[in-house]
Amino acid sequence: MTTHAQRERLLLADLLESTGPDAPTLCDGWRTRDLAAHVVVRERRGDAAAGIVVPRLAERLERVRGEYAQRPYAELIRLIRTGPPRLSPFALKQLDEASNTVEFYVHTEDVRRAQPDWTPREIDPVFADALWSRLERAARVLGRRAPVGLVLRRPDGQTVVAHRGSPVVTVTGEPSELTLYAFGRQSAADVTAEGDKAAVAAAESAPLGI
């Protein structure tokens, strides 16, 4: 049975392949080659990937990612498509699903939405619920740097508090769009933000995400 993570992995690999190595992305300063290298390093070089969350290791992460970015682009796509090595923690289906479903979804949108001819992607209800479930668990971490109170709300009224504070900004949208917003892609997310005008502007420019 194909998991959400497996499906998103293949979608990302196919998209990276079709756009080529020099297409823009939503990640500042990164072309598709850089994004592909990031995905490969995250799964295959745990010694360097720790730099994603440990600031003092960030320089090493960037050096290793740069080295991988110099590899043939087709090789990077192949490594993404085939997945992590057998002994990697990401090779465990449960960890892959928990860690990569959102990762691959967000990076797929990083590529899609940076292209001039992109169109909205239809998200099925099951996947939307899966994204919402992960967002509920991660919201406090993703919103920890918000300078205002931040509430994320689905169209059906379900909410999760990403950051406690005042004034409060309430951001409404589908789980897929709220996920992008919470991961720092505020300007690319199709959401509606309600609250004091200055507070909304502060939330939209805040360094949300990991």
Query: Quick one: pLDDT at residue 52?
Result: 67
The region, left, alpha or beta by phi > 0 then psi within -120 to 50, assigned to residue 111 is alpha
Query: Quick one: pLDDT at residue 93?
Result: 83
Enter the pTM of the model: 0.91
Pick out the chain residues at pLDDT < 70.
1, 46-54, 57
Query: Quick one: pLDDT at residue 49?
Result: 60
Domains of the chain: 4-112 (no CATH), 127-204 (3.30.1050.20)
Q: Closest Cα partner for 107 from 159, 204, 40, 163?
A: 40
Q: pLDDT of 43-96, one tens digit each? A: 887 665 666 666 776 777 788 888 989 999 999 999 999 988 887 777 788 888
Query: Quick one: pLDDT at residue 50?
Result: 64
